[in-house]
Amino acid sequence: MEIVSGHLLARLTTIGTGGPATAFARPTTLHELEEAIAWAGARGLGVTTVGLGSNVLGADEGVDALVLRLAGELAEAEVDGTLLRAGGGATNAVCLHRARAAGLGGLEFACAIPGTAGGGVRMNAGAYGSDWSDILVRAFVVAPDGSGWLTRDELGLEYRRSRVEPGHVVARVEYRLVPRAEPGIKAAVAELVAQRKATQPTTKRTFGSVFKNPPGEVGAGRMLELCGLKGHAIGGALVSPRHANFIENAGGATSADCLALMAECRRRAREQFGVELEHEVVLLGALAD
């Protein structure tokens, strides 16, 4: 496993912004992952995992940490009965493909989430009324002070959050699925994909949903739309004209542009609705301070 310096976060994130990481590696086995975390610990570096980079906004100045993207066997998935075992870096698309081929349902909602198994656990990702807590059995979490399996309850999955701590890496995931005919799975996925394409800017560079939905009947996107923010831009960052809870890189955007636009969205929501929106995107580097 090679550990390199200066790898740009802009090359790792779907929004396409962010400066260099102090260190970057692609561990392919559990042993390599543990070695990488130990390497970072010996140098006083934090550890962060980016997955597909679809829920990440990194500082333009860079991130003083070891940034990981799981690969190899840590990005594979296989079916055992009604159990789907996946590496933390396995994409939701790969997991869904394996499940569909085996005639197993329950993961269809993940077709709307361009991320990984590990990222899904960390944030209890969800869409269309389902989330990771509905299908997760347990996850193997690697930490500087020891590694092990944690059950769904031990992971404390709640709306868009878990007890997985910063610097801990979800290396393996087990899902319990249910038998379902492949045509039914394909039809359900096709319907969800069509809904997503009709309502979200799927052809634009974004980092996914910006804010968590606040309590109540009005979601974050609708709230920001009512604030008149669709199409509002700061620098190269644009509130999507299609869905106001997405920020697009309209060309040459920086993370600072995105953060400033997020701040304006929060200000407008606070003034008009008295609601303090909480960001869903993970902030790295100086942005998180």
Q: How far apart are CA 108 and CA 130, in angstroms?
A: 9
Find all residues with CB under 8 Å of 56, minimum gap 6, and list them: 9, 12, 13, 14, 15, 18, 50, 207, 281, 282, 284
Q: Where are the domains of the chain?
A: 3-72, 73-199, 220-288
Rounded Cα–Cα distance for residues 155 and 143 (Å): 14
Residue-level pLDDT at 62: 96
Class of the domain covering 73-199 = alpha beta
pLDDT grade, residue 149 (50/70/90)? very high
Catalogue the active-site residues: 160, 209, 280
Give the closest residue to 52 by CA, choosing from 107, 14, 85.
14
Q: Strand 46-49 and strand 63-68: pairing?
A: parallel
Which string of DSSP letters, residue by residue, matches 49-81? E-TTSTTEEE-TT-EEEEEE---GGGG-EEEET
For residue 251 the two structure tokens come to 């060309």
- Residue 15 structure tokens: 């929004």
Q: What percent of the chain has pLDDT over 90?
A: 96
**Torsion angles phi and psi, residue 141, rounded to 5:** -110, 130
Tell me which of 3.50.50.60, 3.55.40.20, 3.30.565.10, 3.90.78.10 is the CATH number of domain 220-288: 3.90.78.10
- How far apart CA 249 and CA 203 sit, in angstroms, is 11
CATH of the domain spanning 3-72: 3.30.43.10
Q: Tell me the pLDDT of the chain averaged across its residues.
A: 96
pLDDT digits (tens, 9 = 90+) for 151-191: 999 999 999 999 999 999 999 999 999 999 999 999 999 99
What pLDDT does 289 receive? 63
pLDDT in tens, 194-244: 999 999 999 999 999 999 999 999 999 999 999 999 999 999 999 999 999
CA triplet 6, 86, 55: central angle to 5 degrees? 45
CB-count burial class (<10 Å; 0-12, 13-18, 19+) for 202: middle
Maximum Cα–Cα distance across the chain:
52
DSSP code per residue over 92-138: HHHHHHHHHHTTEES-GGGGG--SBHHHHHHHT-EETTEEGGGTEEE
pLDDT average, residue stretch 18-28:
98
pLDDT at 110: 96
